[in-house]
Amino acid sequence: MDSPFTFSREVINESFIGRKDELSWLASNLSNKENTVLIAPAGYGKKSLVRSAFIQAAKQTELKWCTCHLFNVRDAYSFYTRLAHELFSAACATGDEWIAMAEQLLPLTRPHIEINERNPNAPLQIIFNKQRLLEFADEILQLPEKIAALQNTSLIVWINDFQEIARFENTVAFQKRLVAQWKQQRNASYLLCGSKINAMRNLFSEKQVFHKFGEQIPIEPIDEKALTDYIVKAFSKSGRVISKEFAEMICRTTCCYPFYAQQFAHLCWLNTKGFVIDSMIDSAAEDLLNYNDHLFRLLADDLSDSQINYLHAVIDGIDRFSSAGVITHYQLHSSANITRVRGALEKKEIITFFRNKPHFINPVFEYWLRKRYFENG
């Protein structure tokens, strides 16, 4: 029997848990061609939310969408090429359509459409002269609006890992170019998503180029009751039983973080053919740490002594680091060093600040540090 818990891919329909308000909000924005920003760490359910919102929005409005991933895009040329390729893939069905659209909509950049004659199923490629593309890049940025008008539809451009544009050379000028072209479009709208929450928040913060470009929909942890009920019902449907108390323990250990909650529940499910008991929960908790141990070791190995000491203080409940006692006890050296450490941990996307208090972005990394790193240190 297959596990009822999914944590390695997005989910829709009955497997989509909670977040009814966010779903309705996002679906409304998509239907109304509103630019939208989603910020949440990897594994938090952004893709599941977006897929479900697309399905809901498409029931009310005729929509077409293009998905563009930037996780391995490091410069403006690669960005423009990737965006053009994904737009053509979304808008055209055949090589002839690619060629016709390129001739009609890209007269200045003049790309070459590469078709593999020996393998008709091979993906098509759009190839640009780099110098010409960078000179006439506005033509690429206008492409979503032109495609929407040409096909008499609304086009949503869904860009994942949008925070990567902050790493581009001359990023401010690049961002201004994007905003200048995108803000005036009426038939194309943009859904900008990012998993590095500190980098994304900085991109859309006050005085930054993308400030107020789109409406930011906050993505909160999944409601504990909804997640608890889902876990209990999923066990029951597969002929196994977990108590409400154990399901709540799964939710609280993972802070209702979707990826880890589903993974923890899956491990509990594997440990029983009938009723879940205490020893099975304990075993699944160890398995959860074991499955993620290699990644967390790499994260910890990349931290300086001061950064590790700062995280130890956070785990101990310290949120005011300026006192001499805290600086001495945790070997943080000075207030200036604390500021540097805080900035480095934010840049590494390990902590974030809410109401000026530090919080771990990944609750299971915090759990691993607590149980394996500091407890045995």
**Higher per-residue confidence, 17 vs 198:** 198
Q: Which CATH number fits domain 302-374: 1.10.10, 2.40.10, 2.60.40, 1.20.1530?
A: 1.10.10
- Supply the pLDDT for residue 17: 82
| Confidence label for 376 from pLDDT (cuts 50, 70 and 90) | low
Q: HEC string of the chain?
A: CCCCCCCCCCCCHHHCCCCHHHHHHHHHHHHCCCCEEEECCCCCCHHHHHHHHHHHHHCCCCEEEEEEECCCCCCHHHHHHHHHHHHHHHHCCCHHHHHHHHHHHCCCCCCEEECCCCCCCCCCEEECCHHHHHHCCHHHHCHHHHHHHHCCCEEEEEEECHHHHHHCCCHHHHHHHHHHHHCCCCCEEEEEEECCHHHHHHHCCCCCCCCCCCEEEECCCCCHHHHHHHHHHHHHHCCCECCHHHHHHHHHHCCCCHHHHHHHHHHHHHCCCCECCHHHHHHHHHHHHHHHHHHHHHHHHCCCHHHHHHHHHHHCCCCCCCCHHHHHHCCCCCHHHHHHHHHHHHHCCCEEEECCEEEECCHHHHHHHHHHHHCCC
- Supply the pLDDT for residue 60: 83
Q: What is the pLDDT of residues 93-125, one digit of tens each?
A: 999 999 999 999 999 999 999 987 777 677 899
pLDDT at 377 over 60: no
Mean pLDDT of the 338-356 span: 94
Mean pLDDT of the chain: 93
**Domain limits, the chain:** 20-218, 224-293, 302-374
- Supply the pLDDT for residue 189: 97
Q: What is the pLDDT of residues 255-294, one digit of tens each?
A: 999 999 999 999 999 988 889 999 999 999 999 999 999 9
pLDDT at 40 over 70: yes
Q: What is the pLDDT of residues 218-264, one digit of tens each?
A: 998 899 999 999 999 999 998 999 999 999 999 999 999 999 999 99
Q: Give percent of the chain above pLDDT 90.
A: 84
pLDDT at 320 over 90: no
**Shared fold status for 20-218 and 302-374:** no
**pTM attached to this predicted model:** 0.93
- Supply the pLDDT for residue 89: 96
The CATH homologous superfamily of the domain defined by 20-218:
P-loop containing nucleotide triphosphate hydrolases (3.40.50.300)
- Supply the pLDDT for residue 254: 96
pLDDT at 151 over 60: yes
| Confidence label for 90 from pLDDT (cuts 50, 70 and 90) | very high
